[in-house]
Structure 1
Amino acid sequence: MDETGVDDTGADGTGADGAGRDETVLTDDGVRLWATRTGGGPGEPVILCHGGPGLWDTLDEPAALLPGTPAYRWDQRGCGRSQRSGPYSTDRSIADLEAVRRHFGPERVTLLGHSWGARLALEYALAHSARVGGLIYVSGTGIDDDSTWHPAYKEAFHRRLGERPGRRKRWEELRERGDGRTDAEDREYAVLQWSVDFTDRDRAQAHAEAMASPWFGVNYACNATIGAELKRPSATHGLRERCAALRVPVLIVDGEGDIRPRWSVDSLERALPDVTRTTLAGAGHLPWTEDPEGFRAAVGAFLEGVRHRRGSR
């Protein structure tokens, strides 16, 4: 989350009510990460990577839409229910994701990443391709420099927030308070930002409220540190060539109404040798919320293909 918008650049181990059991993943440098597992079935396990940086797992809805598949969710380092401890970097996040995989045990997984989590999942697949059976890249922003798409995003953010003048005025007031916001005001500020991520403007505020419940507080230090790293030229240097060499099937899922320009992902699509892309009409940055059946169908077909490939080996 930056100051102009959210999420630029969570036996089967479940309880009787279907809810996941809290588990603790210990990283190689001793940091404790919250994780949970839900679902079950013959499908290749899926690890879900939430957005941010600096947020926490809000992916219980898409996890529930995965057909016949164990789902592993986690809070990234310093975020949500995980230990509030750095250091923060893309490489450190990749190592933490590997710790999550080792904790749950499968030799290979499919990754589903949302927004920043889509970039994290992609970077993990590039570093550990033998461990990845498939990659579901949801609402990411591609592999080009941030400067190529962020101005268009910022303009769209302010335009959509301005559709409700009272909300925009309140957002601006809270933004000006910065570090002086109370925890309740910080939540209110986040909800106002997140409300722009939904195309149904009448329900947007309610959707954003649901995202913020429960509220764990944004880790702004994590957000700023990784966000600055992603803006450096080195973050995209050689990325196109590495993607061209990736022999992992990839599904790109876009919400047509996402205010992050979808053309920002075009270069990633062109670079990947084994990719399909689905755009869901009437959906925004969290496409499973506004088109759950379309999301289920696209992801389900992809997972079936991954399962078939595994079985044919």
Structure 2
Amino acid sequence: MTDEAQIRWMALGDTTRRPAVVMLHGGPGLPDYLGDVAPMVADLAPVYRYDQRGTGQSPWRGRHFFARHVDDLVDLLDAWDVPAAVLIGHSYGSDLASRFCMAHPDRVAAMLLICGPFVGDWRTRARAERDRRMSAAQQKRLRELEELPRRTEDQEVELLTLAWFTDHSDPERGWHWAAQGARRRRPINWSMNGELGKERRADPLDEHLPELRECLPARAELLGGADDPRPVSALEPLALRLALPLKRIEGAGHEPWLEQPDAVRAHLRRFIQGAVGAQG
């Protein structure tokens, strides 16, 4: 990168084709986890993914801020020789995609925002729904683990499993996916999570929606899981303020491709085909 940071990236499909798709994972502080999503559309357009700096195999020990992560994506697009990309952002990645779009609208050919970004006081409702999906014992154990000054590897896995299993519509399968993710999506960069979370609270995307609406590409959509504990209803005011279509995936939570892969695949393919056709 321009500051000599090292970023691990991956490509799938024919990288000579344009436009290219870039998938932005969530967190912040998690490594890329969209490896199951990329193959759904890689025959339609090349798909790039990367570990954001400070996560996975992209080592970084400096301070984290949105402008640096936006610049990283510019550097990557230049390295890939991609003038304008179809951005697909999930969770926090949808926030990053939105901020990138405002800073560099000419580099965004189309944009699909999955399970985010949420506006308004959605956190209160999300916490309440998470608690509703947990037993009293699970809630107590999660608080105990969160309060530990240091955690062992097993304690970290237990904490993440408890924190993530309610993200899914089906609690039994949700526990399996959460436990699997707790071991694979590691290590978590808690410093990055805290620094970007603090900046997001100090400068919420909510206050930039008029600017974002002006910068949006001609093809932009929102996609959410109907059973996401981060209430899909929090995406409705965003859809209205940005004048974007909002598609709900029934029977799915915060990672809808796990519970309803066929529905997500169909939606992604329709979106990418439309974006590729528009560019052609």
Query: Could you say whether these structures have the same fold, taking a TM-score greater than 0.5 normalized by the shorter chain as the test?
Result: yes
CA distance in 1, matches of 2:51, 2:80: 15
Q: Secondary structure at the match of 1:37?
A: strand
- Are 1:133 and 2:109 an aligned pair? yes
Q: Which runs of 5 or more residues in structure 2 are unaligned?
A: none
CA distance in 1, matches of 2:208, 2:100: 13
2:201 to 207, 218, 231: 231
CA distance in 2, matches of 1:39, 1:191: 33
CA distance in 2, matches of 1:140, 1:35: 23
Task: Look up the match of 1:253.
Answer: 223
Say if 2:236 and 2:246, in contact at 8 Å, map to a contact too. Answer: no
CA distance in 2, matches of 1:44, 1:236: 27
Q: Secondary structure at the match of 1:33?
A: coil
CA distance in 2, matches of 1:223, 1:140: 16
Please list, as runs of the form range in 1=range in 2, the aligned pairs for 1:2-17 lying within 5 A after superposition.
none
**CA, structure 1 residues 211+64, in 2 after alignment: closer, same or farther (shift >3 Å)?**
farther
Q: Give CA deviations for 1:223-243 in whole Å, capped at 9, x if unaligned.
A: 1111011111x3347412112
Shift of 1:215: 4.4
**CA, structure 1 residues 106+141, in 2 after alignment: closer, same or farther (shift >3 Å)?**
closer
Instruction: Calculate percent identity across the aligned residue pairs.
Output: 28
Please list, as runs of the form range in 1=range in 2, the aligned pairs for 1:233-312 lying within 5 A after superposition.
234-236=203-205, 238-248=207-217, 249-273=219-243, 275-311=244-280
Q: Greater helix percent: which structure?
A: 2
Please list, as runs of the form range in 1=range in 2, the aligned pairs for 1:77-88 lying within 5 A after superposition.
77-88=53-64
Amino acid paired to 1:53: P
Task: Look up the match of 2:88.
Answer: 112
**CA, structure 1 residues 127+211, in 2 after alignment: closer, same or farther (shift >3 Å)?**
same
CA distance in 2, matches of 1:37, 1:184: 33
1:175 to 124, 129, 146: 146
Q: Secondary structure at the match of 2:8?
A: strand
Shift of 1:79: 1.2
Say if 1:246 and 1:272, in contact at 8 Å, map to a contact too. Answer: no
Structure showing greater relative contact order (alpha-carbon pairs closer than 8 Å, 6 or more residues apart)? 2
**CA, structure 1 residues 40+206, in 2 after alignment: closer, same or farther (shift >3 Å)?**
farther
Q: TM-score, normalised by structure 2?
A: 0.92
- List structure 1 segments (4+ residues) > 4 angstroms apart after TM superposition: none
Q: Give CA deviations for 1:108-158 in whole Å, capped at 9, x if unaligned.
A: 11111110110001111121111111111000133x34xx21111111111
RMSD in angstroms over aligned alpha carbons?
1.8
Say if 1:255 and 1:284, in contact at 8 Å, map to a contact too. Answer: yes
CA distance in 2, matches of 1:285, 1:40: 30
Task: Look up the match of 1:12.
Answer: none
Q: Which runs of 5 or more residues in structure 1 are unaligned?
A: 1-26
- Are 1:149 and 2:122 an aligned pair? yes
Amino acid paired to 2:161: V
Q: Give CA deviations for 1:259-313 in whole Å, capped at 9, x if unaligned.
A: 011122223212325x3221000000001111111101111111111111111xx
Q: TM-score, normalised by structure 1?
A: 0.83
1:57 to 5, 14, 32: 32
Shift of 1:105: 1.7
Task: Look up the match of 1:123.
Answer: 99
Q: How many residues are matched? A: 277
